[in-house]
Amino acid sequence: MRPEVRNPASAVCTALLLSLGGTACDGGDESDREQQKTVSAEELCGGALSSVAAESLEKVTGKRKFARTSLGEGAAGTAKMLSEEFNSQPELDGSPRNVHDFCLIYTDKSADLTDVAITFEITDSDRLGNPDDLDPDYSIYPMGRRTLSAEDKAVVYFECAGSEMNSSTDSPALIKSELRHRYDPAVKGQEAKEANMTVLHSAALAVARELKCEDDGGLPAEPVLTPKA
C-alpha cells in the first residue's frame, strides 16, 4: 500500500502552530475576518466625530458597526477643499458650488449606495431663504447662522472668518453642512432630530476648527438640543 502523501504546506503550518500553541490552520476565524470588514462609529469620518456624536449615529441608524468601505474626506480634507475653492473664487456668480463629501456611511458592506451622507459646500445668504417658508418638519436650533433638523436630515449653516478662508468678520464665508439618510431612521420624532443634530454639529464644529473660523463659526462646544420657540 502506498504511503499517505501529506501536503507540505499543511505540515509546515501544523508544525508552526504546535510550536506556538495554536490549534488551527484554516486561515483565521470567520468572526475575525468579518470584524476586519467593519468599523465602529467613532472610526468613521476620519475619526472626526465626538464620542457622543458616534453614539447618536448608532442610535439613529440602529447599527453598531459600519462597513469599512465608508468613505469621505473627514475634517482636514473637507476644510482643505473648502478653503482652496473659496480662495480661488470668493464671489458666487450664480453657478453651483462643489459639494464635498465629509463622510459617506454604509451600514451594509455590500451596499452600493450610502445610508448616511454628510456633505459641505460654500453658499451665500440668498440661499438661506425665509425661515417662515421652511419645511414644517424642521426644528430650528440656536447654533451657527442657521441650524435645522428633521427626522431624516439636518442642516447647519455657519460663517467662517479667518485666514484659511481669506475672509473677515465683515464679509465671512458662509458654509452649509448637511446630513441625509437614505432610509427611515431607526428612531422617530424629536429623538431622531436630536441624534441627527448631534452628529452634524460634531462634523461642522470639526471643520470650523480646521478652518480656524473665528469663534468656531458660532458653533458651541456642545450641541444645543432645545429648539427655538
Does 74 fall in a domain?
Answer: yes
Does 214 fall in a domain?
Answer: yes
Residue keyed to cell 419645511: 135
Interval 147-187: pLDDT, tens: 999 999 999 999 999 889 988 888 899 999 999 999 999 99
| Domain total of the chain | 1
Query: Residue 38 is placed in which grid cell?
Result: 467593519
**pTM of the entire predicted model:** 0.81
Distance (Å) of CA 2 to CA 5, 7, 8, 54? 9, 15, 17, 62
Does 62 fall in a domain?
Answer: yes
Domain with 86, as residue range(s), is 32-218
- Can you give the pLDDT at residue 90? 63
- Cβ pair 166, 90 in contact under 8 A: yes
